[in-house]
Amino acid sequence: MQQDKNINQDPHFMSWKYHTLAGNSYFEKNQIMDSIEHYEIAICEAIMLINMLNSGKAAVAALLASFHNLAELYTQQNEHALSENELTKAYNIINALLLNEQSEEQKEALRRGKSKANFALLQFRHLHHDSLSLKHPCQLNSLTTKQSN
């Protein structure tokens, strides 16, 4: 797809990639606060990419990867509620973007991203249900309810 090829040259994509790699490097060195800072910047860059006209699957994948990196960091720190929160944010942001005017290709990329975000969240909750305090059991039901877009 032409749109995904062009995104590799975008300054936001290059910045996203830089901050993702920096976050990974700091994570490996156990410099958690620096890692979090870079992952959060990567999330902002991914959102900027998605907001570009017809940014396609690559931008949605960048957003999901950014939230998943942050969620994994929190999981490694035994901060399961924070991990769940990051995965929920990914789902909610993609869902909100679907409410905006989008091209059909962009809608399809966002729908796929929404499905992947929902799956990741449900899988996380299944794996970590013992360590999560499910204060809001209806939250899971609202995420699995089919919504029209």
Count Cα atoms within 13 angstroms, Cβ side, for 46.
Answer: 29
Q: Percent of the chain scored above 70 by pLDDT?
A: 84
Q: What is the pLDDT of residues 63-101, one digit of tens each?
A: 999 999 999 999 999 999 999 999 999 999 999 999 987
The Cα 55–Cα 61 span in angstroms is 11
Which residues does 46 contact at the CB level (< 8 Å), separation at least 6?
Answer: 12, 16, 59, 62, 63, 65, 66
DSSP state of 132: S
C-alpha to C-alpha distance for 109 and 59, rounded to whole angstroms: 9
pLDDT band at 45 (very low <50, low <70, confident <90, very high): very high
Distances (CA, A) of 51 to 11, 47, 96: 14, 6, 12
CATH 3.40.50 fits 2-144, yes or no: no
120-149 per-position pLDDT tens digit: 999 999 998 877 765 444 444 444 444 444
What span, in angstroms and rounded, lies between the C-alpha atoms of 49 and 66? Answer: 13
39: pLDDT strictly greater than 90: yes
Nearest to 49 by CA among 100, 4, 112: 4
- 94-98 CB contacts, 8 Å cutoff, 24+ apart: 94/60, 94/63, 95/147, 97/50, 98/149
